[in-house]
Structure 1
Amino acid sequence: MSDDGDESVRVWLVERTYSDDEQNIIILTYATPDGERYFRKERALTSFSDVRDTTAAVDADPGNLGQTGDPDLVEQYAAEAQRMREAHDPDDVI
């Protein structure tokens, strides 16, 4: 995957949290392997039968990536992205 032009960027799942504001919102954070950029997806759980797979990695539009900024968070995201890359194929359901 390339980081330039119209190419998508592969990002790896590094964090899954529940929204503080709404209990039925799950926030999935994916990051680049270097931890420098992240992609966040919010998923509303509308019912117990609402089953959508969460994969180890997704391909994101570079324009949808944010800068991590915090050095500690960059390190954390990089370590977790590396762990996910080593343990899972991109399409593995997590």
Structure 2
Amino acid sequence: MKPRIHPVSRPVVFRDRAAGVAFLTRSTADSDRRVEWEDGASYPVIDVETSSASHPFYTGTHRVLDTAGRIEQFRRRYGTTAPVGR
């Protein structure tokens, strides 16, 4: 790797405001606000609205769309047509 062209990576705390969960990871992002972590050290903190702790896909609370029902509803409303090209 070439020296002096890559951004500095540092430990940063990301705090999910919706779930009340925080996790420490490395990032190039920086913040003026700091928080004291479980190890007693102070790290920059970045507040996020959604993370894997609160996103419906990862928590298992996402809704599955009934695509087969939508297709049938479309066919009832507009009818079916013959396949194109045959």
Q: Given the two structures, how large is their TM-score scaled by the length of structure 1?
A: 0.22
Q: Which of structures 1 and 2 has the larger relative contact order (alpha carbons within 8 angstroms, sep 6+)?
A: 1
Q: Which has the larger radius of gyration?
A: 2
Whose strand proportion is higher, 1 or 2?
1
Q: Given the two structures, how large is their TM-score scaled by the length of structure 2?
A: 0.23
